[in-house]
Amino acid sequence: MVILVTGGAGYIGSHTCLELLRAGHQVIVVDNLCNSSREAVNRVEKLAGKSIIFYQADVTDEAALAAIFAQHTNIDGIIHFAGLKAVGESVVKPQQYYYNNIVGTLVLSKMMAQFGIKNIVFSSSATVYGENEIPFVETMSLGVPTNPYGQTKLMSEQILKDMAVAHQEWSVVLLRYFNPVGAHESGQIGEAPQGIPNNLMPFISQVAAGRLEKLNIFGNDYPTPDGTCIRDYIHVCDLAEGHVRALEKLADKSGVHVYNLGTGQGTSVMQLLTAFERVNQLHVPYTIAPRRAGDIAAFYADASKAERELGWRAVRDIEAMCRDTWRWQTMNSHGYDQ
Q: List residues binding ligand UD1 (CB under 6 A).
A: 85, 87, 125, 127, 150, 179, 198-200, 203, 215-218, 229, 231, 269, 292, 294-295
Residue 254 dihedral angles phi and psi, to the nearest 5°: -65, 155
Residue 300 a catalytic site member = no
Q: Which is nearer to ligand UD1, 25 or 153 (CB)?
A: 153
- The residues, any chain, with a CB within 8 Å of residue 334's CB and separated by 6 or more, are none
Question: Which member of 149, 222, 233, 259 is catalytic?
Answer: 149
Q: How far is the CB of 55 from ligand NAD (least distance, A)?
A: 9
292 binds, among ligand NAD, ligand UD1, none (CB under 5 to 8 A by kind): ligand UD1
Burial class (CB in 10 A: 0-12, 13-18, 19+), 71: exposed
Strands 26-31 and 53-56, sheet pairing: parallel
Q: How far apart are CA 313 and CA 292, in angstroms?
A: 31
Q: Which residues pair with 117 in a beta bridge?
A: none
What residue 216 binds from ligand NAD, ligand UD1, none (CB within 5 to 8 A, per partner kind)?
Answer: ligand UD1
**Interatomic CA distance for residues 273 and 282, integer angstroms:** 11
Task: Provide the minimum distance between the beta carbon of 301 and ligand UD1 in the complex, in angstroms, as a whole number.
Answer: 12
Residues that bind ligand NAD (CB under 6 A): 6-7, 9-13, 31-36, 58-60, 81-85, 100, 104, 123, 125, 177, 180
Q: Which residue is nearest to ligand NAD (CB)?
A: 10
Closest CB to ligand NAD among residues 109, 125: 125
Cβ-contact 226, 266 below 8 angstroms? no
Give the residue numbers marked as catalytic: 149
